[in-house]
């Protein structure tokens, strides 16, 4: 999806920031680290970058200098977004984020969106997350994702093409794989 | 964290259906992403130790071109993408059970 946004025809310049929430990396994926990861994808020369740079130097000069404070990070993110023609933020697997951080993140994104009318946000997550999304973004558009038979067929064909030992598989088995798996999977 | 190189990779990525547009947009993206990561890796690390672009490259490598593109044709996606509906359609949430392919949508 991200690549399609980049490749697709568009009249304006676009900038994309993405984030993949990951169950295995939950401890590191704090709200501040996620906002920071989004911000650094949207920094261009000049402007906000200079603010970031001076904040960095200031912190470094102090003993025990820490990271940027979350409110400062949010302020800089808003400025960075305002300086770009159009911004897409894509966040995958919301349910893999620690709930405390997720709620904070959604609240901040809501706040940022209110000041950034040209911004677009794309989320994915399990169905249970819908309530949180609609709570924060009342007019958010919801799409249900289910495996498409066509996609499964194409995926299997590709996987079979990549089989390192294709001669080990009888034609009959290949045909059954291509027929049965899509039938079962699309009934998920 | 070589963001500039990333822009190149992405724009010459695996869905070059509209070659003219791709080249055009490549220039546009390169302009927008005048990213400074090369000269400031320490600052980028300080901002956040997380590197989502690296993860994105992994997903791209694992994904098959032909799979998951149906979303792009939906009314919901097009409206969200087009920006014509303003703030009302600013958020798109795709939900599905584990393993249905949400990460690999395209």
CA of B38 vs chain A CAs: smallest distance (Å): 12
Q: CB of B86 within 8 A of CB of A139? A: no
> In whole angstroms, what is the distance from residue B50 CA to residue A33 CA?
7
Closest chain B residue to A186, measured at CA: B100
pLDDT in tens, B42-81: 888 889 999 888 777 777 766 666 556 778 888 888 888 8
**Partner-chain residue, chosen from B42, B69, B95, that has the shortest CB–CB distance to A130:** B95
Task: Give ipTM to 2 decimals.
Answer: 0.77
A86 vs B60, B83, B88: nearest CB: B83
Q: What angle do CA A5, A105, B42 make, to 5 degrees?
A: 75
The predicted structure's pLDDT at residue A108: 97
Instruction: Give residue-wise pLDDT tens across range A71-92.
Output: 999 999 999 999 998 899 999 9
Least CB–CB distance from B98: residue in A36, A126, A137:
A126
Tens-place pLDDT, residues A127-141: 999 999 999 998 888
> What radius of gyration, in Å, describes the C-alpha atoms of chain A?
22
**CB contact (8 A) between residue A40 and residue B44:** yes
Measure Cα distances from B31 to A43, A153, B42 in Å: 12, 39, 23
Q: Are A14 and A88 within 8 A, CB to CB?
A: yes
A 96-125 → B contacts, CB under 8 A: 113-114, 117-125
State the number of CA atoms in the 13 A half-sphere of B66 facing the CB. 11
User: β-strand B91-95 against A15-20: which pairing, if any?
Assistant: unpaired
- Which tops the pLDDT comparison, A1 or B83? B83
């Amino acid at each position: 999806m991200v690549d399609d946004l980049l490749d697709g025809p568009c009249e304006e310049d676009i900038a994309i920031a993405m984030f993949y929430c990951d169950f295995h990396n939950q401890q590191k994926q704090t709200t501040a680290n996620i906002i920071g990861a989004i911000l650094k994808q949207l920094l261009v020369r000049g402007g906000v970058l200079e603010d970031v740079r001076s904040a960095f130097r200031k912190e470094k000069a102090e003993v025990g200098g820490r990271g940027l404070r979350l409110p400062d990070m949010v302020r800089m993110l808003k400025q960075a977004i305002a300086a770009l023609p159009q911004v897409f933020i894509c966040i995958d697997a919301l349910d893999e984020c620690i709930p405390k951080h997720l709620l904070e993140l959604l609240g901040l994104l809501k706040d940022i969106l209110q000041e950034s009318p040209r911004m677009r946000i794309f989320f994915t997550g399990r169905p249970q997350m819908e309530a949180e999304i609609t709570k924060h973004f009342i007019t958010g558009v919801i799409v249900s994702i289910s495996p498409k038979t066509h996609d499964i067929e194409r995926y299997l064909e590709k996987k079979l093409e990549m089989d390192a030992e294709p001669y080990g598989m009888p034609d009959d088995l290949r045909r059954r794989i291509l027929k049965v798996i899509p039938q079962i999977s699309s009934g998920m | 964290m070589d963001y500039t190189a990333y822009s190149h990779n992405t724009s010459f990525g695996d869905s070059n259906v509209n070659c003219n547009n791709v080249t055009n947009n490549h220039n546009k993206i390169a302009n927008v992403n005048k990213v400074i990561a090369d000269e400031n890796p320490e600052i980028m690390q300080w901002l956040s130790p997380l590197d989502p672009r690296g993860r994105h490259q992994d997903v791209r490598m694992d994904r098959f071109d032909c799979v998951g593109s149906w979303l792009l044709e939906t009314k919901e996606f097009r409206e969200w993408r087009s920006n014509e509906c303003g703030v009302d359609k600013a958020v798109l949430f795709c939900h599905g059970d584990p393993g249905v392919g949400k990460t690999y949508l395209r």
